[in-house]
Chains A and B, each alone.
Chain A
Amino acid sequence: MPVMTYREAIRSAMADEMTRDDSVIVMGEDIGVYGGTHLVTDGLIDKFGPKRVIDTPIAEGGFTGAAIGMAMTGMRPIVEMMTWNFSFQAADQIIQNAAKVRYFSGGQVTVPLVIRGPNGGGVQLSAQHTHSLEGFYGHFPGLKVVSPVTPADAKGMMLASIRDNNPVIFLEAGALYGTKGEVPDGDFVVPFGKARIAREGTDITLIAYGRQVNMLLNVAEKLAGEGISAEVIDLRSIRPFDEETIVTSVRKTHRAVVVQEQWRWFSVASEVAAIIQEQAFDDLDAPVLRVSGAEVPAPYARNLELAAFPNEDQIAAAARRALYLEK
Chain B
Amino acid sequence: MATTRSRSAKAASKSGANDSAVGGRHKAASQNGLPLDHTTLLDMYRQMVTIRLFEEAAQKAFRTGKIGGYLHLYIGQEALAMGFLHSYQPGDKIITAYRDHAHALILGTHPRAVMAELYGKGTGMVKGKGGSMHLFDVKNGLWGGYGIVGGHIPLGVGFAYAQAYQQSGNMTQLYFGDGSIHNGAFHEAANLAGLWGRDGMNPCLFILENNKYGMGTSVERATAMTDLSAKFDSYGIEHEDVDANDLIAVLECAQRVTKMVRETGKPYGIEAQTYRLSPHGAADFLERYRSKDEVQSHRAHDPINVLEARLLQADATTEAEMEKIRADAKDVADDAVKFAEESPDPDLAELTTDVLAD
User: Footprint of B on A, CB under 8 Å?
Assistant: 25, 51, 56-57, 59, 61-75, 92-93, 96-97, 101-112, 141-142, 144, 165-166
B275 on the interface (CB 8 Å rule)?
A: no
Chain B positions within 8 Å of A93 at CB level: 151, 154, 185
B163 at the interface (CB under 8 A from A): yes
Q: How far is the CB of A102 from chain B (nearest CB, A)?
A: 6
C-alpha spacing A209/B317, complex, angstroms: 72
Q: Which residue of B lies closest to A77 (CB)?
A: B158
* Contact status of A64 and B201, CB under 8 A, knowing A72-B143, A72-B159, A106-B125: no
Contact A108 B138 (CB under 8 A): yes
**Cα A124 to Cα B143 with chains together (Å):** 44
B153 within 8 A of A: yes
CA gap between A66 and B164 in the complex, in Å: 13
- B residues 297-350 with Cβ under 8 Å of A? none
List, in ascending order, chain A residues with CB within 8 A of B151's CB.
65, 92-93, 96-97
Whether, in the assembled complex, B156 has its beta carbon less than 8 Å from a beta carbon of chain A, the answer is: yes
Q: Is the CB of A105 within 8 A of B130?
A: yes
Cβ contact within 8 Å between B129 and A69: no
Most chain A CB within 10 A, of B136, B144, B160, B357, is at B357
Beyond A61-B184, A105-B354, A109-B136, 12 extra complex contacts between A and B, CB < 8 Å: A65-B157, A65-B185, A69-B159, A96-B147, A102-B354, A103-B129, A103-B354, A104-B130, A106-B129, A107-B353, A108-B126, A142-B355
Give the interface segment out of B186-194, B241-249, B253-261, B287-295: B186-194
- Inter-chain CA distance A112–B356, complex, in Å, is 10
Question: Which of B128, B152, B195, B201 is A51 in contact with, Cβ under 8 Å?
Answer: B201
**CB pair A106 B159 closer than 8 Å:** no
- Most chain B beta-carbon neighbours within 10 Å: one of A59, A62, A67, A166: A62
Q: Are B136 and A108 in contact (CB under 8 A)?
A: yes
**A72: B residues at CB distance < 8 A:** 143, 155, 158-159
B126 / chain A contacts, CB cutoff of 8 Å: 104-106, 108
With contacts A66-B157, A66-B192 known, is A106 near B130, CB below 8 A?
Answer: yes
* Minimal beta-carbon separation of A74 from chain B (angstroms): 6
Complex contacts, A75 vs chain B, CB 8 Å: 162, 165-166
17 intermolecular pairs with C-beta atoms under 8 Å apart: A51-B165, A57-B188, A57-B191, A61-B185, A62-B185, A70-B159, A71-B158, A72-B159, A73-B163, A96-B147, A96-B148, A102-B356, A103-B355, A105-B138, A108-B138, A109-B144, A166-B356
Residues in B with CB closer than 8 Å to A73 are 93, 143, 158-159, 162-163
- B146 close to chain A: CB less than 8 A: yes
B161 beta carbon closer than 8 Å to chain A: yes
User: Which residues on the A side are within 8 Å of B146 (C-beta)?
Assistant: 97
Question: For A107, what are the chain B residues with a Cβ–Cβ distance below 8 Å?
Answer: 127, 353-354, 357
Do B357 and A61 have beta carbons less than 8 Å apart?
A: no
Which residues of chain A are near B124, meaning CB under 8 Å?
A: 106
Given the complex of chains A and B, what is the CA–CA distance between A205 and B356 in angstroms? Answer: 31
Inter-chain CA distance A106–B124, complex, in Å, is 9
Judge whether A102 and B355 touch: CB under 8 Å: yes
Interface size of B by CB at 8 A reads 49
Residues of B108-160 contacting chain A, CB below 8 A: 124-130, 134, 136-138, 143-148, 151-160
On whether A65 and B356 interact (CB within 8 A), knowing A74-B166, A97-B146, A97-B151, the answer reads: no
Output the least CB separation between A316 and chain B (Å): 39
Tell me which residues across on chain B come within 8 A of A69, comparing CB atoms.
154-162
A62 near B166: Cβ-Cβ < 8 Å: no
Interface centre among B146, B147, B154, B160 (most CB of A within 10 A): B154
How many residue-residue contacts, CB under 8 A, span A and B? 148
Chain A residues whose CB sits within 8 angstroms of the CB of B166 once the complex forms: 74-75
Task: Tell yes or no: B358 within 8 A of A by CB.
Answer: yes
B356 x A104 contact (CB < 8 A): no
Q: Which B residues are CB-close (under 8 A) to A144?
A: 356
Min CB–CB distance B109 → chain A (angstroms)? 12
Query: Which residues of chain B are near A59, meaning CB under 8 Å?
Result: 188, 191-192
Q: Of A63, A111, A165, A166, which is in contact with the most chain B CB atoms at under 10 Å from its CB?
A: A63
Q: Does the CB pair A62–B354 fall under 8 Å?
A: no
CA distance A70 to B155 in the complex (A): 7
CA distance A70 to B154 in the complex (A): 10
Q: Return the chain B residue nearest A56 by Cβ.
A: B192
In the complex, the answer to whether B145 meets A165 with C-beta atoms within 8 Å is: no
Q: A92-B151, A108-B136 are in contact. Are A166 and B159 (CB under 8 A)?
A: no
B155 with A57: CB separation less than 8 A: no
**A61 to B191 alpha-carbon distance, docked (Å):** 12
Kindly identify which residue among B143, B154, B184, B354 contacts A66, using a CB–CB cutoff of 8 Å: B154
Query: Which of B144, B162, B188 has a CB less than 8 Å from the CB of A74?
Result: B162
CB distance from A137 to the nearest CB of B (A): 14
CA distance A110 to B357 in the complex (A): 6
The CA-CA distance from A111 to B189 in the complex, in Å, is: 19
> In the complex, are the beta carbons of A92 and B189 less than 8 A apart?
no
- Complex interface: chain A residues within 8 A of B153 (CB): 65
What are the interface flags for B164-194 relative to A under an 8 Å C-beta threshold, 1 for contact and 0 otherwise? Answer: 0110000000000000000011011101100
CA distance A66 to B195 in the complex (A): 13
The interface residues of chain A lying within 8 Å CB-to-CB of B157 are 62, 65-66, 69
Contacts of B128 in A (CB 8 A): 106
Tell me the nearest residue of chain B to A141, going by C-beta.
Answer: B355
Q: Complex: how many Å from CA A249 to CA B152? A: 45
- Chain B, Cβ-Cβ closest to A240: B356
* Residues on A with beta carbons closer than 8 Å to the beta carbon of B160: 69
On whether the beta carbons of B188 and A63 are closer than 8 Å, the reply is: yes
Q: How far is the CB of A148 from chain B (nearest CB, A)?
A: 20
Most chain B CB atoms below 10 A, which of A68, A70, A166? A70
Give the residue name and chain of the A residue nearest to B161 (CB). Answer: A70
A105 to B133, CA, bound (A): 10
| Residue of A with least CB distance to B95 | A69
CB distance from B110 to the nearest CB of A (A): 15
User: Which residues 78-109 of B have a CB within 8 angstroms of A?
Assistant: 93
Bound Cα distance A69, B154 (Å): 7
In order of increasing CB-CB distance, the 6 nearest A-B pairs are A69-B158, A65-B154, A62-B188, A106-B126, A69-B155, A66-B158
Complex-state Cα separation, A59 to B128, whole angstroms: 34
Task: Report the minimum CB–CB distance from A245 to chain B (whole Å).
Answer: 21
